Amino acid sequence: MAIPGASSASRAIDAVTAAEPAAGLAPAHRLAWQEARVAAIHAETPEVKSFVLRPESWAGFTAGQHVDIRLTAPDGYQAQRSYSIASAPDDSGTLELAIEALPEGEVSPFFHDVVEVGDTIELRGPIGGHFIWDAPLGGPLLLVGGGSGLVPLMSILRHRARVAPEVPATLVYSARRYDDLIFRDELFRRRDIDPNFRLEIALTREQARDGLHFGRIDATLMARAIGAEVPRLTYICGSNPFVEAAASLALAAGLPFGSIRTERYGG
Amino acid sequence: MATRGFFGKRPTEIEAGRLPPGQYLTEDFPVLSAGPTPRVDLDKWSFTLKDGVRPVAKWTWDEFQKLPHVKLTRDIHCVTKWSKFNTAWSGVMIDDILAEAGIEAATGFTLAHSFDGYTTNVPTADLVGGKAMIATAYDGQPITADHGGPARLLVPHLYFWKSAKWVSALQFTARDEAGFWELRGYHMYGDPWREQRFTGD
């Protein structure tokens, strides 16, 4: 594809998109709404709960994908939202969402305050064919998450640990405080047992504990995260300001434009 | 069937009439894109019309500024469920771009190209007849880079991923060729009022 006036960036992107796996590409049939039973609920942080859902029919997904949720009021009014999947694809027939309570929200407060184990929720999916990773894409991987932007990265990390633990992966995870770190114990455990997984945590509103960075992600932290081996793929997820800042740091550190995939929350 | 315990924060009746199914109203202007924000220098910017592989007209930024600019205020609807009312754009209508180039639309299908390699397909009929523009300003100001500046396609009656940011070219194609998201499970047409979000909707 040669477009007059196109930047070199477009060629770099083409190189990456050509390598995307078939999984996650266009489904041949309609994505049907279906009911899913809430199998478990866990409080992960003061503002984030995880929900294990068991849909009637679930053929699996690719790490990084999301589902659409649809809620229906007694008079037929409906609200829809998209939520990333936190779990890795497996044969359990379930998926796990991690939902942050947004005080002014319509759907997230319902999940936090009303939903109980045994309820049924409508969903359809999986959705998304770009912010995804599977073993054929290889590594090294650089994952950069802000707040609840960790969720799809967690799916990728969990999947990598199952199917390709030899692929080097680094997670840079920014949260406000220590207690806001979603899946904190699991992340520390994975860091301790997995020689190919590095974890860099940045806390923006709490003085660092030992080994944790205090403040926003900066050039020094980004350089340390990139390390000696340039990541083949970088996945950045969070609010738009977070993603803009992190993507700018990644570009400034020399990572190719086309190797960086982003997902922005708040939309 | 109703979801147990859900009542919702519903919009007013007036808002509800302007909201396509499954959408909610936001006052913000969320940003979504598949990669980092490309920074396109104005002196390197150009916009090209192509008939298949053949370029048929091309404008630099200064040349493009001399085309007739008009205002277009429309509601916009993102496939991620947010809608925003009364977004005020200005730019050059596709009709005027074709007239300026002295050509008729070559085929019934168009593929929009962007500086970051993004593509999206739109039927040519949805770009002409006063329906779409190449927008260069939002709310009276140059469009910021994260919202697609220097220039983006604006096709407000379709889901907003069709309104390609950082647009660099419109290409008339012999058949309806799927663009970036359309290859990844999103709908070939994307009418919010028929809730055409994904393939098969």
A64 with A140, same domain: the answer is no
Residue at A109 is within a domain? yes
Residue at A7 is within a domain? no
Distance CA A217, CA B121 (A): 37
Contacts of A33 (CB under 8 A, 6+ apart): A70, A122, A123, A124
Strand partners, B72: B89
A142 with A255, same domain: the answer is yes
User: Are B117 and A258 a contacting pair at CB < 8 A?
Assistant: yes
A60 with A175, same domain: the answer is no
Is the predicted pLDDT of residue A6 greater than 50, yes or no?
no
Break chain B into its structural domains and give their ranges. 44-194
Which whole number is the average pLDDT over B69-80? 97
The total of structural domains in chain A comes to 2
Which pLDDT score is estimated for A30? 85
- Name the helix (H) or strand (E) containing A252: helix A240-252
pTM (2 d.p.): 0.92
Residue at A19 is within a domain? no
Identify the CA nearest to A110 among candidates A85, A87, A79, A84. A79
Identify the CA nearest to A81 among candidates B83, B22, B199. B22
| Topology annotation, domain B44-194 | Sulfite Oxidase; Chain A, domain 2 (3.90.420)
Classify burial at B17, counting beta carbons within 10 Å of its beta carbon; exposed 0-12, middle 13-18, buried 19 or more: exposed
Mean pLDDT value across chain A: 90
Chain B nearest C-alpha distance from A158 (Å): 22
Strand partners, A120: A37
A42 with A144, same domain: the answer is no
A150 with A113, same domain: the answer is no
Residues in chain B closer than 8 A to A79 (CB atoms) = 6, 8-9, 22, 24
Of the residues A84, A101, A127, which one is the last residue of a structural domain? Answer: A127
Give the domain extent around A108: 34-127
Is the predicted pLDDT of residue A3 greater than 60, yes or no?
no
Residue at A70 is within a domain? yes
Amino acid at B57: A
A123 with A191, same domain: the answer is no
At residue B89, φ and ψ (nearest 5 deg) are: -115, 160
A221 with A173, same domain: the answer is yes
Residue at A4 is within a domain? no
Of the residues A79, A96, A127, which one is the last residue of a structural domain? Answer: A127
Residue A115 sits in a domain whose CATH number is 2.40.30.10
Chain B nearest C-alpha distance from A208 (Å): 29
Which whole number is the average pLDDT over A109-124? 98
A191 with A244, same domain: the answer is yes
DSSP 8-state class, residue A258 = G
Of the residues A127, A144, A176, which one is the last residue of a structural domain? Answer: A127
CB B48 within 8 A of CB B58: yes
Alpha-helix residue ranges (DSSP H) falling in chain B = 13-18, 61-65, 94-101
A256 with A149, same domain: the answer is yes
Identity of the residue in A114, A128, A240 whose CB atom sits nearest the CB atom of B146: A240
Separation of first and last alpha carbons in chain B:
20
Which pLDDT score is estimated for A7? 34
